[in-house]
Amino acid sequence: MTPESMRANWNYPTAIRFGVGRIAELAEACKSLGMKKPLLITDPGLAKLPMIKDAIAATAASGLPTGLFHDIKPNPVGRNVEDGVAAYRRGGHDGVIAFGGGSALDAAKAVAFMAGQSLPLWYFDDNGPGWKDASLPGIAPIVAVPTTAGTGSEVGRASVIVNEATHTKVIVFHPKFQPAIVIEDAALTVGLPPHITAATGMDALAHCLEAYCAPGNHPMADGIALEGMRLIKEHLPLAYADGTDLVARGQMLIAATMGATAFQKGLGAIHSISHPVGAIYDTHHGLTNAVMMPYVLAFNRPAIEVRMTRLAAYLDLPKPSFAAVMEWVLAFRRQLKIPHTLKELGVDGARADEIARMAEADPSTGGNPVKAGAAEMKAMFMNALEGRVPS
C-alpha cells in the first residue's frame, strides 16, 4: 500500500476527498458550495504555521478572498463561538473553512451554525429538542480540513463547547453542523508531535470502542467501529513512531472518521467522565479518554463480555476474551506512553462528587452498556485517580 494507491473519494454521508495533496482542491471545494468570501477558522498554534498561510493564499489566488479567525481555546468556550460569529458577520463572509484538530473543527462548525441563529448557543443542547427550532437559511456552508486523527469532528453533527458559566461541556447539535465537504490530506498531519498523535489516536479508539459497546441494534455502526479499531491497532503505533509515515497517517485519518461515524449509535461513561474532567481541569480530551478507558471497561464487563471476545478475535489477540482486550488496552497505552492515572494529568479528588453528578447528566451516559448513576461514576473516577483497575 502506498499513499498514491489510497487516494479516493467517498460519500458516507459527507463527501470526503481523501489523499495526499488533496488540499490543493480547497478553493474548488469552497466554490462548489457557493462560497465567494470564506472565513478560515483554526486554533492559535496552527494559525502560525505555513499550511494556513498557504491555504489562504491559494484560495485568494483562485478569486476567494479569505479571512482568518483563530481565537479558540484547546477546550473551546462559548465566547470563542460568539467572537467567531462576530468576525464572520463583520467580514461579510459566506462560508466557513474549518481547519485543524477537534477544537478548531468544533468551534468552526458552531460558528457556521450560529451565524444564522437568533437563539443562544446553549438552546441547541443535545439533551433537548432545541435543534428543531433552528433557522436554516443563514447557516453557513462548511468545508472541513482535519489536521489530527482523533475526534472525527469533520463528519460529526455536533460540537462540544464549554459553557463557562456552568463549567460544563455542552454537546450542541444540529444536522447542519455536518460539513458538506471534507478534505483528508495525510500530509497536513505530518508535523503532529508523537504525544499528540497518541492522544488523538486514543480518542478515535475510544469512539470506536464505546460505539461498539453501546446497547441497541445498529449493525452498520458496529461494523465500522470494529474496522476502525483494527486500523488503530495496526497504524497508530506506526504513526507514533514515525510521524512521516503517510500511509499510517492516512489510515489514522480514516479510523478517526470511522469512529465519529460509528458513535451515532452512542458513547458511554468514558466520555461522560472525560467531559466534566476536561471542563474543570482543562485536560486534553483524547488523553483523558485514554486514561479512563480501562476503568470504564472493567465496570462494563458484565454487559460486554461476549462483545469483547468477538473484538479480541477480530483484532487477532491471543485467547480471545474480555481479559485479552483489557491486556491489549493496557499494553497499547504503555506503548504510546499514555499516563495510567488522572493524577498524572493534574486532576485531584477535590471535586469528585461534582464530577460524578455532571457525568451522570452527560448525554453520553445513556449509551453506557451498564446503568451508571453518580455513585458509579464517582467510583470509576476515583479508580482512575488512583490507578485501580478492578479485575
Give the domain ranges of the chain: 8-188, 193-386
DSSP string of 318-348, one letter each residue = SS-SHHHHHHHHHHHHHHTT--SSGGGGT--
Helix (H) or strand (E) holding 182: strand 181-184
Write the CB contacts of 295 (distance below 8 Å, at least 6 apart in sequence): 380, 383, 384, 388, 389, 390
> Among all chains, which residue has been given the C-alpha cell 451565524?
115
Nearest to 39 by CA among 146, 119, 115, 101: 115
19: left (phi over 0), alpha (psi -120 to 50) or beta: left
Are the C-beta atoms of 341 and 316 separated by less than 8 Å?
no
* Grid coordinates given for 145: 480540513
Residue type, 260: A
Q: Which residues pair with 143 in a beta bridge?
A: 97, 181
pLDDT tens readout for residues 359-388 = 999 999 999 999 999 999 999 999 999 999
Low-confidence ranges of the chain (pLDDT < 70): none
Architecture of domain 193-386: Up-down Bundle (1.20)
Phi, psi of 239 (to 5 degrees): -65, -35
Q: In terms of C-beta distances under 8 Å and separation of at least 24 residues, what long-range contacts does 122-128 make, across chains too?
A: 122/78, 122/163, 122/170, 122/172, 124/172, 124/173, 124/174, 125/170, 125/171, 125/172, 125/173, 126/158, 126/170, 126/171, 126/172, 126/173, 126/363, 127/171, 127/363
Identify the pLDDT of residue 127: 83
How far apart are the C-alpha atoms of 273 and 207, rounded to whole Å? Answer: 14
Are the C-beta atoms of 109 and 159 separated by less than 8 Å?
yes
Write the CB contacts of 11 (distance below 8 Å, at least 6 apart in sequence): none
CATH 3.40.50.720 fits 8-188, yes or no: no
DSSP string of 358-369, one letter each residue = HHHHSGGGGG-S
Write the CB contacts of 111 (distance below 8 Å, at least 6 apart in sequence): 39, 41, 69, 81, 84, 85, 88, 96, 140
Write the CB contacts of 220 (distance below 8 Å, at least 6 apart in sequence): none
* Grid coordinates given for 87: 468576525
Identify the pLDDT of residue 336: 98
Question: Can 8-188 and 193-386 be said to share one CATH topology?
Answer: no
How many beta carbons lie within 10 A of that of residue 349, not counting itself? 14
Q: Residue 13: is the preceding peptide bond cis (ω within 30°)?
A: yes
How far apart are the C-alpha atoms of 152 and 106, rounded to whole Å? Answer: 10
Interstrand relation of 39-41 and 96-100 (parallel, antiparallel or unpaired):
parallel
pLDDT tens readout for residues 35-62 = 999 999 999 999 999 999 999 999 999 9
